[in-house]
Structures are given as C-alpha cells and as structure tokens.
Amino acid sequence: MVDLGAQYERIQKEIDDAVLGTIRSTKFIGGPEVDGFKAELEAYLGVKHVIPCANGTDALQIAMMALGLKPGDEVITPTFTYIATAEVIALLGLTPVLVDVDADTYTIDIAQVEAAITPRTKVIVPVHLYGQCADMERLLALGERHGIHIIEDNAQAIGADYLFSSGKVVMAGTMGIFGCTSFFPSKNLGCYGDGGAIMTNDDEMARIAKMIASHGQSKQYVHDVVGCNSRLDALQAAILRVKLRYLDEYIANRQAVADAYGDAFEKHPRIRIPNQHPRSTHVFHQYTVVLNGIDRDRLRNFLAQNGVPSMIYYPIPLHKQKAFQDTRYDDAAFPVTDMLCDNVLSLPIHTEMDADQLEYIIQKVLEGVAAQ
C-alpha cells in the first residue's frame, strides 16, 4: 500500500546524517532535535503550540485529559473511524456517543452530531478521514453555540487545509481547542517507529497538555496533576525534521495518483471515486473507492493474485465492536457507515508510485470489476 523503502532511498543521505548525528550527540530524550521539530511543525502548520508525544492515540488521550473531563461526560465521535478515537474516550471513563458519517465525504455527519448533543456533551471529536477535513465551519459554530470543545483527530490529514467562508484558510489540526496527529510510519508524515503530536493555539491548554505528557510535572519532581509518560524520542524527531521538508511534495505526489485514479474510474458505473468537500483540500492518506454491486472479496483476491494490494478501512464500525457493545446503539442507526464498511476498498497510494505501476493497478482494477 505504501513504499517506505523507495521513499527512504530518495532521502537516504539526509536521514542517515540525522540519525547518526543524534546518536553521536547522545541526546536521546528531548533535546535539540525534538525542540527543532516542534518549532518547525508549528511554523508549517501556523499554530502556536505543538506538543510532541509518543503516538497519535496518546495525543488524543492527553488532549482529553487536559480538558479536565469527568467520568460520564459525553464525547461525540463518528462510528466510522479507527478504534483509537473512541478507545481513549472509554479508557478515561467518558462516554463515547457514536454518530454516523456524511454520505459524500465519509466524515462526521453534522446534523447527527446536533441531534446527539445532550447537557452532558463536553467534546466532539471529528476525524479528518482518509485525508480531508470534516465540515469544520459548521462543527465549530455548533460547538460554540453549545459550549462544547472540538478535538480534531488529524492522524490522516496533516498538511490538508480548510477554507472558511470568511476567506481564512487554516491547516487541519489547528482549528479545534486541540488537534491530534500520528507519525506512524504509513501516515502522510511518518517516522520510523511511533510518534505523535498535539496542536493548540491556547497557551493555557498547551501548558496543561505538556505537563500531562510529562508525568503531570510542572517543575522537576513537582507533580501538579496525574499525568502519563508520552514522549517523541529524539531519533524520530530527527527523522521527522527531514521528512517535514518533503511533506508538500509527498502530498502533491499522492494527489497526482488520486487524480489518475479519478480520471480512470470517474465514469465507471460501479466504482464511486472519493468526493471532495469544497472547503477542504484532500491529502489522500487513503484513496478509497466505494464499490457498487461488486463482490469485494472476489475483487481483492483477483488483485492480490496480480500483485496489487488493497485494504478495507474499516471493515467493522465501532458500534459493532465487542469493546463497544452498548444497548444504546440501535443497529439501524448508522446506515451510511454500514454501507461503507461493506463496500469500501482502499487502493495503493503513496509518494513513490510511478506511471507504470499506476497504469497497471488501474488496469487490474478495471479487469477485476469487468470479470464480475
């Protein structure tokens, strides 16, 4: 699905120098690489504070801890997402309230969010799924009206931007009280292990989140709150500093692949290409089509036999996971998600794909579909 080997080869010298330099410095925890990456990511995103941490799941957890939520507080999030989003909600003793996604963009459905708000709702967590932003303008207005915070799960859309009706353009992950992202290797800005970050424009929230990520420590050996231990290590920061310089190029490469897939499949009666929200750019963390009347397993087998990987993000929605079995979820309440889980197919998309590979994949997808 991705080609991290070829990507590394193209920047090998810079990466090797960064890694060896860090090893020789013996500054493995914190230090100039972590500080440098933090400052460079802040500049890239145009956000006041980046707090690096150990992974994207921790970023979500720390953001929720920083808001001082109490057990029983409700957090609204889409059921069509990766488990991490809802997992941390439950882990903190909060109540996940799942809603369906929008049929065009597969991001959180704002009307359903509105209907799910109760006096206990404290946070909404939209997920910028597959690489494009949820409908943030409406969501932020809704949050403001009800005094509810927005935490963006931006693990899949770093580098995307969003246009407000005022004409203001802002980066994904910098619109809510917190934005959270992941540097898992296959993400658009991936390191060579685990990593994550929290973004905020709020000075006080930044101070609290930073303290929580570091054992609740305000000064050395002084602990004001119960926190956790969540650090981005210096080797990963050094790698990320190199890769951040290529992020815009990587995004452009992904968009070029998406354009080619779009041209090939756009008019196909049984393949629906991704719809783009007019306010958000799409950085195509995934290129996910929706199949119509096609036996997906059979198509995947055909593709696999021809050396073309494909994935299903996600086969089982949160409301059907055993971990979230909850009588409050009515099985018929999530028709868009249920349809997507049965029909989505993600095709290879990455920064190193060449024209021949792309042509081959397109041809095999069309052949596999035609064979049914």
| CB 362 to ligand PLP: min, Å | 26
| CB 107 to ligand PLP: min, Å | 11
Distances (CA, A) of 124 to 26, 112, 196: 41, 12, 20
Show the tokens assigned to 317: 């929605």
Question: In the complex with ligand PLP, which residue's Cβ is closer, 57 or 236?
Answer: 57
| CB 344 to ligand PLP: min, Å | 14
Question: In the complex with ligand PLP, which residue's Cβ is closer, 232 or 361?
Answer: 232
Show the tokens assigned to 160: 């995307």
| CB 295 to ligand PLP: min, Å | 27
Q: Which residues bind ligand PLP (CB under 6 A)?
A: 55-57, 81-82, 84-85, 127, 153, 155-156, 182, 184, 194, 196
Taking alpha carbons only, the member of 121, 195, 196, 133 closest to residue 159 is: 133
Question: In the complex with ligand PLP, which residue's Cβ is closer, 61 or 294?
Answer: 61
Residue nearest to ligand PLP (CB): 56
Question: In the complex with ligand PLP, which residue's Cβ is closer, 191 or 260?
Answer: 191
| CB 194 to ligand PLP: min, Å | 6
| Omega before 314 within 30 of 0, i.e. cis | yes
Question: In the complex with ligand PLP, which residue's Cβ is closer, 82 or 334?
Answer: 82
| CB 54 to ligand PLP: min, Å | 8
| CB 186 to ligand PLP: min, Å | 8
CB 152 within 8 A of CB 171: no
Q: How far apart are the first and last CA of the chain?
A: 24
Question: In the complex with ligand PLP, which residue's Cβ is closer, 137 or 194?
Answer: 194
Interatomic CA distance for residues 238 and 29, integer angstroms: 12
Question: In the complex with ligand PLP, which residue's Cβ is closer, 56 or 227?
Answer: 56
- Continuous segment of H or E residues that includes residue 264: helix 247-265
Taking alpha carbons only, the member of 48, 43, 35, 10 closest to residue 237 is: 35
Interatomic CA distance for residues 156 and 85, integer angstroms: 12
Interatomic CA distance for residues 200 and 241, integer angstroms: 20
Interatomic CA distance for residues 233 and 23, integer angstroms: 12
CB 99 within 8 A of CB 78: yes
